[in-house]
A and B are shown apart, each in its own frame.
Chain A
Amino acid sequence: MPRPLKSRSELRQRFDLYLDEGEAVRLRDSAAAARLPMSAYLRRVALRQRIEAPPSAANVARWRELAPLANNLNQLARACNAGLAPEGIYPAVAALAEQVRLLRLELLGAAANEQEPPA
């Protein structure tokens, strides 16, 4: 059975690109940084499409470290809210928990998108 044909709109053309060693290394590095295959990266660059860089490894690591802390804070806030702690602590703990939550969103760069108006 022959391979199914693609329609003309799906077809892609292929061409060769000559780079010297330094250029190749640079492009390969930036493509790897964007976590894209080199051809996909070059196509996006050439066509001025958006390249979404992933969050940096350090930020992801910090986001992960803060996860249990945020969890504990949430539990504390709940306990305070349920009356298991002295009066007046709940607002402070809740505010702290919210701060940590926003910090974690900020670390991943997800908070910036939140400011955009809904589509």
Chain B
Amino acid sequence: MIGKIAKKGRSFRSLGEYLLRDGRGEIIAGPMAGRTPRELAAEFGQLRRLNPKLGKAVAHISLSPAPGDPPLNEAQWQAIAERFMSEMGFEAWCGVIHRDTDHEHLHLMACRIGWDGKTISDANDYRRAEAVIRRIEADFGLIPVPDPPRRKPKPTTTTPKKGEKAMNDTTPPPSNPFEPGEPHGEVWPEGFEPGRDLAELGMIESIEGIVVASASVGEELPERRHRDMRRLTVEKDYEPGLRQLFGDELATVYKHPGGAVLYFRPGKGRIADAGSKLTALGDMPEHQAAVRIVAIAKARGWPSITFTGSPKFTELAMREAMAHGMRIVAKGDEQTAILAKLIAEKQGGMGAMAGPSIEANPILAPLAELDDLPAQTLPRTAPTPAPVAPPPASPEPQPPRPPFVGVFPAFPNLRERIKERRDRLAHSQPRPTEPVPPQPFKRRQP
């Protein structure tokens, strides 16, 4: 007798359909009252309510005679089925005999829930079933079938033997048929190697001094927010979204517990995506890394962005982010200098291209006089006269201001400019010990 335990299933109905479809099987044993798949499923379904938490409640075992066994009649099959099921501990089951193959065999469909609502243990079920079948063979005078060969226990050490490869990842990347110098060799796609990605990420995280091109959210976020952002990588629309963004450039997306690694083509280069941090891996050119990283960040709606990496990458990425209108947070003096340079460049560029000058605009024109009118532009909420700096004591004629060009610079730093001017005046003019009464405003004549 040969027994086979199929995988535990979820549906009595579908197993019943398989066993009894088109009259191929006949129910010959078991305590169930149902005769059709529908009735059986309803009956088992009621018993299943004794333990609704057990999802895979369907056991399916088949018994077939070994070659050379004498033909068994229905009563013998019934006795074998009852013996087997009671020794395996099943309580609600039914036995269906199939005679549509060369060898007639018995299917056993059982509910894995006992009368008390507890799950019937499946511990060591293959071995237990084997032992039961050996006993049945002895008792019913059947041919004893030798036990299947036992699997050797897995070696506990992971030390590779001589001549064995140490890496588990045995799939070699498709080799690059071109020489390193050739132009085609440069754009040959990189092999898909998840193990290498994880090792690379681990090294970047653990070893100080490795600086790679990366970008993250500008603000300090709590761990919870980082986790929520990383959750994007497990959502269903993650990969379609990226494909929409990059089209054919995106070759593969490899997901791992810490996020995902995006493989690009042509050429080499990957971006590791941890939700709130994007890191360029491999030999991705810096300009590509900048464009791709900023594109992902922009699509994801990051409120602000900060970069790590070489000055060249930082500059490229900041330029890109600025073009997308993202708020950039500069880290350290070097980055601040780069950002200031880019802002100046942008303002200069805008000024040169700008249409109407500020003084031609009747609404904005008064703002051009800002630098000349210190007291007037102070915040009006200060009622005490003390902080008000007196006008310069020696009003010497100043050189005429160069005309203001462009609209952009007049607004963003208005407050800073006022404050700066206040500070400058306060420093150059030591504050008098007694409060000076407010003087009526007098417009200076240039």
Instruction: Please name 7 pairs of A and B residues whose Cβ atoms are closer than 8 Å in the assembled complex, sorted by A.
Output: A4-B257, A8-B231, A53-B49, A54-B49, A60-B115, A101-B33, A110-B46
Q: Within 8 Å CB of A8, what residues of B?
A: 231, 235
Residue B47 is within 8 A (CB to CB) of chain A in the complex: yes
Q: Within 8 Å CB of B42, what residues of A?
A: 105, 110-111, 113-114
Beta-carbon contact of B235 and A35 below 8 Å = no
Cβ < 8 Å to B, chain A residues 32-49: 34-37
Q: Residues of A within 8 Å of B, CB-based: how many?
A: 33
Beta-carbon contact of A5 and B49 below 8 Å = no
Give Cα distance in the complex from A109 to B50, angstroms.
Answer: 13
Beta-carbon contact of A1 and B51 below 8 Å = no
| Interface hub of B43, B47, B117, B234 (most chain A Cβ within 10 A) | B43
Give Cα distance in the complex from A118 to B115, angstroms.
Answer: 29
Measuring CB to CB, which residues of chain A are less than 8 angstroms from any residue of chain B?
1-8, 34-37, 52-55, 60, 63-64, 67, 70-71, 101-102, 104-105, 108-111, 113-114, 118
Measuring CB to CB, which residues of chain B are less than 8 angstroms from any residue of chain A?
31, 33-35, 38-39, 42-43, 45-47, 49-53, 115, 117, 227, 230-231, 233-236, 257-258
Beta-carbon contact of B49 and A105 below 8 Å = no
Instruction: Write the chain B residue with the least CB distance to A112.
Output: B42
Min CB distance B271 to A, Å, is 19
Give Cα distance in the complex from A64 to B31, angstroms.
Answer: 8
Partner of A37, one of B47, B53, B117: B53
Partner of B231, one of A5, A54, A114: A5
Instruction: Write the chain A residue with the least CB distance to B49.
Output: A54
Beta-carbon contact of A52 and B235 below 8 Å = no
Beta-carbon contact of B35 and A108 below 8 Å = no
For the residues of B in contact with A, the DSSP-based class is: loop
Partner of B236, one of A5, A7, A37, A101: A7
Give Cα distance in the complex from A52 to B49, angstroms.
Answer: 7
Min CB distance A67 to B, Å, is 4
Q: Within 8 Å CB of B51, what residues of A?
A: 35
Partner of A55, one of B46, B233, B235, B257: B46
Partner of A108, one of B46, B231, B234: B46
Give Cα distance in the complex from A64 to B45, angstroms.
Answer: 16
Instruction: Write the chain A residue with the least CB distance to B227.
Output: A5
Beta-carbon contact of B43 and A105 below 8 Å = yes
Beta-carbon contact of A108 and B47 below 8 Å = yes
Min CB distance B162 to A, Å, is 30
Q: Within 8 Å CB of B52, what residues of A?
A: 34-36, 52
Q: Within 8 Å CB of B227, what residues of A?
A: 5
Min CB distance B112 to A, Å, is 15
Give Cα distance in the complex from A34 to B359, angstroms.
Answer: 80
Partner of B257, one of A1, A53, A102, A118: A1
Partner of A2, one of B53, B117, B257: B257
Instruction: Write the chain A residue with the least CB distance to B27.
Output: A74
Known: A54-B50, A55-B49, A60-B115. A67 touches B31 (CB 8 A): yes
Known: A52-B49, A110-B45. A104 touches B33 (CB 8 A): yes
Known: A5-B227, A105-B34, A110-B45. A64 touches B115 (CB 8 A): yes
Q: Beyond the given A60-B115, A110-B45, A110-B46, could you list 16 further A-B residue pairs with CB under 8 A, ordered by the A residue number?
A: A4-B234, A4-B257, A5-B230, A7-B231, A7-B234, A7-B235, A35-B52, A54-B46, A60-B47, A71-B31, A104-B33, A105-B39, A105-B43, A109-B46, A110-B33, A114-B38
Instruction: Write the chain B residue with the least CB distance to A55.
Output: B46
Q: Within 8 Å CB of A5, what residues of B?
A: 227, 230-231, 233-234, 257
Q: Within 8 Å CB of B234, what residues of A?
A: 4-7
Known: A5-B230, A5-B234, A104-B33. A110 touches B53 (CB 8 A): no
